Amino acid sequence: MRKLVSVGAIALLMSLLPISHVKAQELPYILRSGIEIKDDHPRETTYYFSLQVAGKALSQVVIDLPQGIKIEQRVDVVDTNNHEVGASYQRKSQQVLIAFAQPIAIGTTLNFYIHGLKTESSSPSVYNLLISVQFEGSKENIHIGTVRIQT
């Protein structure tokens, strides 16, 4: 009986918590991620991920960097035809804010290329970059997934 009451209390509390107004099928999603290593310059590694825009047009993407990792160069954002999409790039502490000059339309695939990613550790490590988006006309950052990179 005590377990039943506890489960009931937890269910009641969960039902009172605010839920996001965005359904999962209305969220942009990460298609793939990877690494490009130049044969002639192996230390110039580029990490990338692709994002499919869904639900609403995007105005911004936020990359949360874990402690011990930083981007020393830049993040390039292009569409599937390798055309720049008009994005500005700003670092704020452990966040990278990528704002788009024009909202990115639903159905667009964006490719993010991270140049100059450096870590404090000299040994191989695995890091998780948290990815959030901001829809056009909104100030709310919505977490959509994680990009895992290995150095």
Band of pLDDT at residue 26, cut at 50, 70 and 90: confident
Is the separation of the CB atoms in 98 and 60 below 8 Å?
yes
DSSP one-letter string for 65-107 = PPTTEEEEEEEEEEETTS-B--EEEEEETTEEEEEEEEEEPTT
Band of pLDDT at residue 25, cut at 50, 70 and 90: low
CATH at 78: 2.60.40.1510
Residue 6 lies in a domain: no
Is the separation of the CB atoms in 31 and 51 below 8 Å?
yes
**Could you tell me which residues are beta bridge partners of residue 60?**
99, 134
Range of the domain at 127: 21-150
In this prediction, residues 87-115 reach a mean pLDDT of: 95
Is the separation of the CB atoms in 107 and 114 below 8 Å?
no
Domain count for the chain, please give it: 1
Residue 7 lies in a domain: no
Q: What is the pLDDT of residues 59-73, one digit of tens each?
A: 999 999 999 899 989
Residue 41 lies in a domain: yes
Residue 53 lies in a domain: yes
